[in-house]
Chain A
Amino acid sequence: MSRRRPVRRWRVLAGAAMALAALAAIIALAETLRHPLPSGGPVVAERPEDPAADPRTEVVCPEPAPREDAGRDGPALTAEPEPVTVTSTELYDCPASWDGRLIAYEGEAIGGVLTRGDGAWVQVNDDVYAEAAGPLPAHRDYRGGNSGIGVFVPPTLAEEIDAVGGPQQRGDRIAVEGRFHRVDSTSGEVAIIRAERGAVVAGGEPFVDERLPDRERVAALLAALALGLVAAERWQAWRRRRLR
């Protein structure tokens, strides 16, 4: 049976303190080098301020859409009103109320134009990143995840869309008018807009990838350190094997 060698408590505490110091150093380094550097880029808001994104916010839904069978559940069918401008959050908050209604919606085309039959599916985001502030990481206006909705656009609009938002570019901004469907009877898709008309209102553009000299210097320094340590470790392991 091998002899136990309990470690003195102060040595453990010193080790824990060193580990915490290393963790703090890693966090500090990463925070300092994050893109963009703290001094660069417009700081619009440190914290998200969109109350609609908070699930604790009470939502008051509008009246349900007029129904053909008026007098039973919904209000009487009236003349088709002008399309109501909505956001994706409003649609998701009250899908039954907006079901079948004529709406107007605007946002950034994202990810791809998925051509299908007599039109195309486009994910259209109407979050803060699709608006003035623009996509991350070009600024520090952190406003949470994306919000958007799937839109089935007519072929003319699908052809018009030139740039879709993604890792290297901001997508075209499109405006559509059409009907929101809680469940689309044609495709079976959930919570989508079937656009009747629409247009590209602003063109997309590629991101400007700024050089970050501080990051370059730190990366070179740390890479050299890592290579040195790996070489030393491999050499030590080789020596140990030889001695055996």
Chain B
Amino acid sequence: MLFRPDADDFRLIGLYTGTVLYGVGVAMLVPLVVALALGERNEALAFVIGASLTVSVGALARMTLRTRATLTGAQGLATVALIWTVVPVFAAVPLLLSGHYLHYLDAYFEGMSGFATIGLTLANDLDHMARSVNVWRHLLHVLGGQGIVVVVLTIFSSAGGAIGTLYTGEGEKDRILPNVVSSAAFIMRVLAAYAAIGLPLLWLATIRAGLDPAPALFHAFTLFVTAFDTAGFAPMSASAGFYRSALVEGVLILVMVAGAFSFAIHYQLWQGRHRELTRSLETRTFAISLLAIMTLMSVGLVRAGTFGDGGDLFRHGFFQALSAHTTTGLSTVPGALFVTDWGVLAPAMIATAMALGGMAGSTAGGIKAIRVGLLVRGILADIRRALSPEHAVLVDTYHAGGRQILRQGQVKAAMTIFILFLVLYLGGGVLGLFYGYDLRLALFESTAAAATGGLSVGIVRPDLEWPLKAFYILQMLIGRLEFIAVFALAGYVVATLRGRV
């Protein structure tokens, strides 16, 4: 039986959503400062308007919705889904005011793509976009990727215990440390540490590629953010191909891999437990699937006759495969070539890599390596059980931070999410077919949206049919939050309309 939500349900969900908006409004001051420093006057005004609206709504919520109640699990999940729906509403304001988006829906799509670390873009004339607007697009990756929910609430709220429910709703499954606030602090330390190494490396690499130091700094910042948050926006329409540099690509590969690792593994490495890298089921699954995808992609590219040289094939093939598998979405090859010059097998492998995704508890999306690993282990365990004597008791284990017993419930949960993702990928594909797109293209683009992959073969463009834009937005939201949070929010809506008192 459904019960109609309590007054405290609405107060709490509104209060926490408002608090996060408050934080997002404050974050808009960063591009505002950039705009002022670079003399981008109209963009500066756009950020003043965006920040003022966002902060005002956040402050109003904090003043009017105060309550002593604490968040429950269901409320936390619904709050996260609402936050992910509402933040792009405000993030879109300065984007629309930049003059690079056809309609508000396009700016909202861009806001969602940024916040959910997808990387698909509907920007018109990106190559002439103001630096401050580009900084805002990339800052959205950081806010969404590094868990704005946790960070903002840690700073603004005293409800330390209640934050845990938001944290799990956000897809960050592993509590790295017992205390969620400590976990959030650790995540920020990891970001800072990789930034301290990755940013200077990318800056030097882009200078060596031929850029002047000042623009190179901007490029290094945006590239680092997009690679570490496995996101996909790029400062230039040619993406990573703009730099024509194997060195830049090499550094990006390192940062993308670091971004796709779960923060739990980062914690193990931080503690000096380097063997976790080779023993963890998740890293092993990721490495094996990457190898399989790269092998099949190479076969496809050889059959298509795209590359005459093995070195060139490896350079571009590996970058695309890794970018797709980590769900980053950077590319050294124009997307149109996936269709016209890469044959059939290679693009199919890119789509498969995006669909599988990176590691749980990271910024990567998709089904996730741990689930794939658990499913394979579950199947192997079933086969072993079938071949064993009837009364034999078999205990299957796997390694994840330590030795774990493989339970049927875990395999079932992994299968459920696996099937839900497949349905989500197919849903966008079917809608694409309805609008007359080729099956391969429709499935590729749908997977890119739902798995946060971000690579595109050209369907996502400003004159895309609006129902497809809307559906891709929904896919991004559901895929990023991995279903449950969105289901919880939908459950609240249904309970409000049909629940009993």
Contact = CB atoms under 8 A, between A and B. Distances in A.
Interface residues of B, number: 96
Interface in A196-244: 209-212, 215-216, 218-219, 222-223, 225-226, 229-230, 232-233, 236-237, 240
Output the residue of B242, B246, B501 with the most chain A CB within 10 A. B242
Interface residues of A, number: 88
Q: Is the interface of A mostly helix, strand, loop or mixed?
A: mixed
Contact of A190 (B241, B441, B459): B241
Interface in A90-115: 92-96, 110-115
A222 B215 CA distance: 32
Interface string B316-337: 1000000000000000111011
Given A222-B52, A226-B55, A123 B242 contact: yes
B295 interface: no
A229 B53 CA distance: 11
Contacts of B212: 112
Contacts of B236: 110-111, 123
Contacts of A142: 102, 124, 462
Interface stretch (B91-99, B364-372, B382-390): B91-99
A72 interface: no
Contacts of A229: 55-56, 59-60, 63
Nearest to B442: A55
B496 A55 contact: no
Interface stretch (B250-258, B302-310, B422-430): B302-310
Contacts of B242: 111, 123, 150
B211 A236 contact: no
Contacts of B92: 30
B210 interface: yes
Given A92-B334, A212-B45, 13 more contacts: A6-B6, A9-B4, A26-B90, A35-B98, A94-B340, A112-B215, A116-B210, A142-B124, A142-B462, A143-B124, A183-B307, A218-B49, A222-B56
Interface of B: 3-8, 10, 25, 38-42, 45-46, 48-49, 51-53, 55-57, 59-60, 62-63, 66, 69, 89-90, 92-93, 96-100, 102, 104, 107, 121, 123-131, 134, 209-212, 215, 236-238, 241-246, 305-309, 311-312, 315-316, 332-334, 336-337, 339-341, 436-438, 441, 457-459, 461-463, 496-497, 501
